[in-house]
Chain A
């Protein structure tokens, strides 16, 4: 009896084990396939909200069936066929205008025939669908926050809970943002298309803004004790690489990819074993990922070879590349970096860029020259609540031996940052000023 129980338990646990394995595989398949799925369905239904629901329905069906039937040979095609059938069913059952109904359902069925017969060339079509989805999710009509949430949801396959956790925002807030965004797109009847000409440039920059925001959120979390959340960085890089593959003629896309690849190459070196941040000049460069640096430099070259005036992402990538090329911090070509910042200030004249330029100038021409620029920024007052301004001034003052003033700046910076670890680092520097 006891033996029988034990045998039964063993059988049950192996079944349970298998179920979790299937579940994990479904999660993985979803992350890989969902964007493609939603993109194709959005083309057919002309509504990303409806497309996502159909895709979700297919996911639920997979969750019900795959544990029994096993994972199909081509899970993506299975999900697509299931979602499409759901779409056709739904259209048939909905009380829609007859004409619209017929067009849509005809299109869904036609698409099925097409995808059944045509295997070659399907790649380009999938690519176009994905591009349309990226441009729609990042439509300038939507506020940045909504674009970001929708992009992670539709292109990253992230759940509302995951997005909420990543941005330290309550889940209902994210859910609401996504619902509103979908409604706004639907109400404005935003066409599911790839913009052309001048419009394309504008829309690309709207997409790049979202991707870089996601990357930065992961790279240096603005709040909380996690210095970075690598998953967000990887997600942003993935979407960026997809965009670069699909829109190879856009120099700024390559610029952003280059920038992200090079920044991501430093991830292992950016924190010490206690998880505390390590500044660029103190990082062990042997920990930098050479493969990512190589990819970054290639993307930069590709972007620059398109021969246009360098935009803000290409310029930032060029700056990041200067650091990546330097074998030691002392080898950094600060004079060239200063020149790149001059160019960057001309195309994006923001106080944050000015502040970075001040740092570059201090490295190229001495702390006094840098401090002069930083002081000018402090006098303007636009960066009053930005912790890096007092942090930079503290650093330059300390280099000039003005420790008492430096200490005050570090303490102010520590108060302004929302990142607990960064705050500790700044307070350590303030304490070091007292000892000096």
Chain B
């Protein structure tokens, strides 16, 4: 089974934290990533830049809005795609993630939208 760990962080947190502290956290995430790799469960991972663009088509009308989105309450900052046997294993790996200390780690199973 595959699970996605989504790192959901408050927008603006990266700026507040500043580069130096951010780098220290990032280094901890690299160690964590390596540990997932050497345990054979990591399928894919990446971090995402803060600013993005939102696109939607409603009634045939296309809207494109460039970030930052000041009204947003949370921001997906990165992801880990894991191959594990159970949800509990995914939760254990989520619990090891350093980002759980400053962001929220959302554990989602990969699967169809409707069963």
Q: Please tell me if the beta carbons of A238 and B83 are within 8 angstroms of each other in the complex.
A: yes
Q: Please tell me if the beta carbons of B35 and A123 are within 8 angstroms of each other in the complex.
A: yes
- Per-residue CB contact flags for chain A residues 179-199 toward chain B (1 = under 8 Å, else 0) read 000000000000000000000
Which residues of chain A in 230-289 are interfacial with respect to chain B, using CB atoms and an 8 Å cutoff? 230-231, 234-235, 237-242, 245-246
Measured between beta carbons, the chain A residues less than 8 angstroms from B93 are: 32
Cα(A27)–Cα(B85), bound, Å: 11
Which residues of chain A in 202-240 are interfacial with respect to chain B, using CB atoms and an 8 Å cutoff? 230-231, 234-235, 237-240
Q: Is A65 an interface residue (CB 8 A)?
A: no
Cα(A308)–Cα(B81), bound, Å: 32
- Closest residue on chain B to residue A130 by CB atoms: B38
Cα(A291)–Cα(B46), bound, Å: 13
Measured between beta carbons, the chain A residues less than 8 angstroms from B43 are: 291-292, 295
Assess A27 versus B38: contact at CB under 8 Å? Given A237-B83, A291-B43, A291-B81.
no
The number of chain A residues with a CB under 8 A from chain B is 27
Measured between beta carbons, the chain B residues less than 8 angstroms from A201 are: none
Min CB–CB distance A399 → chain B (angstroms): 36
Min CB–CB distance A168 → chain B (angstroms): 19
Q: Please tell me if the beta carbons of A31 and B85 are within 8 angstroms of each other in the complex.
A: yes
Q: Please tell me if the beta carbons of A31 and B37 are within 8 angstroms of each other in the complex.
A: no
Q: Which of A31, A32, A238, A240 has the most CB of B within 10 A?
A: A32
Min CB–CB distance B59 → chain A (angstroms): 29
Q: Please tell me if the beta carbons of A29 and B85 are within 8 angstroms of each other in the complex.
A: no
Q: Is B103 an interface residue (CB 8 A)?
A: no
- Closest residue on chain A to residue B90 by CB atoms: A28
Assess A242 versus B38: contact at CB under 8 Å? Given A31-B85, A234-B83.
yes
The number of chain B residues with a CB under 8 A from chain A is 22
Q: Please tell me if the beta carbons of B44 and A28 are within 8 angstroms of each other in the complex.
A: no
- Closest residue on chain B to residue A231 by CB atoms: B85
Q: Is A8 an interface residue (CB 8 A)?
A: no
Cα(A231)–Cα(B83), bound, Å: 10
Q: Is B23 an interface residue (CB 8 A)?
A: no
Q: Please tell me if the beta carbons of B34 and A123 are within 8 angstroms of each other in the complex.
A: yes
Q: Is B76 an interface residue (CB 8 A)?
A: no
Q: Is A67 an interface residue (CB 8 A)?
A: no
- Per-residue CB contact flags for chain B residues 26-58 toward chain A (1 = under 8 Å, else 0) read 000001001101111111100000000000000
Cα(A130)–Cα(B38), bound, Å: 10
- Chain A residues packing against B (C-beta within 8 Å): 24-25, 27-29, 31-32, 75, 123, 126-127, 130, 230-231, 234-235, 237-242, 245-246, 291-292, 295
Ordered by A's residue number, 18 sampled pairs between the chains whose C-beta atoms are within 8 Å are: A27-B86, A28-B86, A28-B89, A31-B85, A31-B89, A32-B93, A75-B92, A123-B31, A123-B38, A230-B1, A231-B85, A237-B83, A238-B41, A240-B40, A241-B37, A241-B40, A241-B41, A291-B81
- Chain B residues packing against A (C-beta within 8 Å): 1, 31, 34-35, 37-44, 81, 83-86, 88-89, 91-93
